[in-house]
């Protein structure tokens, strides 16, 4: 009888803890309901036109919610507005994430990925120039480039235009960059010291600041080595045919050597 009473007592404690926890879980359901997709689109359109000095047009505006494990509780919410460049022949679209403040009246820009299309070629050029110090046969691919403060999907509204006089070191000191840069080397040119040499030259630009998190939300340098025959095929596909994510790479990724260097 005593055991049953104690068991019931502990169950009540656990249940009260769950209920108490549920009561304390922030619920943004009202904020989600108040999100106006038309207003978000207007704010985003003004932001894009002014920041990039181009005319964009809205393709769509949708709001989303991130739900808690507690039924009916929304942890976060936002609106993603899709754009394309007005009167452009290209169908490529870009995303602007819009959130509102606690008073639910002011809409602010979290990030946009149009900046990625501008920054990515510049970053690759900078990374390639640094790599040229080693004078090794290779070609490179910049798989992704984002700003970490933007949740890894683009660049925050605070990110300024890259100036031709800017250097990678200056930009990396101001902003937390997240990128994945792949160096592809033929097996005949690879040796055991190359990985170390690559890491050493980039450390000057991306000082080590490990916090135990290897989630990939940092500067990653992938060193991939393939047989000479496959290297030639892959290089042709990437450089001449511009097929960065072609099936050749996926099926032969670890053929000879693969290493990922985490810089920060």
**DSSP letter for each residue of 68-110:** -SSTT-EEEEEEEEEEEETT-S----EEEEEEE-TTSS-EEEE
Residue 190 pLDDT: 94
Residue 206's pLDDT is what? 85
User: Which pLDDT does position 140 carry in this prediction?
Assistant: 96
Contact 37, 45 (CB under 8 A): no
Residue ranges of domains in the chain, CATH in brackets: 29-112 (3.10.450), 115-262 (3.10.310)
Give 167's contacts (C-beta < 8 A, 6+ positions apart).
Answer: 126
Print pLDDT tens along the chain (264 aa). 454 544 544 444 444 444 444 445 568 888 889 899 999 999 999 999 999 999 999 999 999 999 988 888 998 999 999 999 999 999 999 999 999 876 667 899 999 999 999 999 999 999 999 999 999 999 999 999 999 866 668 999 999 999 888 999 999 888 889 999 999 999 999 998 999 999 999 998 987 554 444 445 689 999 999 999 889 988 988 887 665 555 555 555 546 788 888 887
DSSP state of 147: E
Q: What is the pLDDT of residue 255?
A: 65
Q: Are 190 and 225 in contact (CB under 8 A)?
A: yes
Residue 62, token pair as written in the block: 């949708």
CA distance 65 to 28: 9
DSSP state of 160: P
Q: Is 59 helix (H, G, I), strand (E, B) or coil?
A: strand
């Amino acid at each position: 009888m005593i055991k049953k009473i104690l068991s019931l007592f502990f169950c009540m404690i656990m249940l009260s803890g769950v209920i108490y926890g549920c009561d304390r879980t922030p619920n943004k359901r009202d904020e989600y309901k108040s999100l106006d997709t038309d207003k978000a689109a207007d704010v985003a359109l003004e932001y894009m036109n002014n920041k990039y000095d181009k005319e964009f047009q809205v393709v769509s505006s949708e709001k989303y919610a991130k739900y808690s494990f507690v039924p009916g509780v929304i942890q976060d919410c936002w609106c993603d507005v899709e754009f394309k460049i007005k009167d452009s022949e290209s169908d490529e679209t870009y995303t602007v994430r819009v959130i509102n403040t606690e008073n639910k009246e002011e809409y602010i820009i979290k990030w946009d990925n149009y900046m990625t299309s501008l920054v990515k070629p510049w970053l690759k050029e900078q990374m390639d120039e640094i790599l040229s110090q080693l004078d090794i046969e290779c070609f490179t691919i910049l798989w992704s480039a984002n700003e970490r403060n933007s949740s890894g999907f683009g660049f925050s509204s605070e990110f300024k235009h890259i100036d031709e006089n800017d250097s990678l070191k200056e930009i990396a000191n101001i902003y937390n960059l997240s990128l994945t840069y792949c160096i592809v080397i033929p097996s005949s040119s690879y040796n055991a010291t190359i990985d170390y040499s690559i890491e050493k030259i980039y450390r000057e630009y991306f000082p080590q600041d490990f916090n135990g998190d290897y989630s990939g939300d940092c500067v990653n340098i992938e060193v991939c080595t393939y047989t000479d025959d496959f290297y030639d095929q892959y290089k042709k596909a990437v450089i001449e045919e511009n097929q960065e994510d072609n099936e050749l790479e996926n099926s032969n990724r670890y053929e000879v050597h693969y290493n990922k260097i985490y810089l920060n």
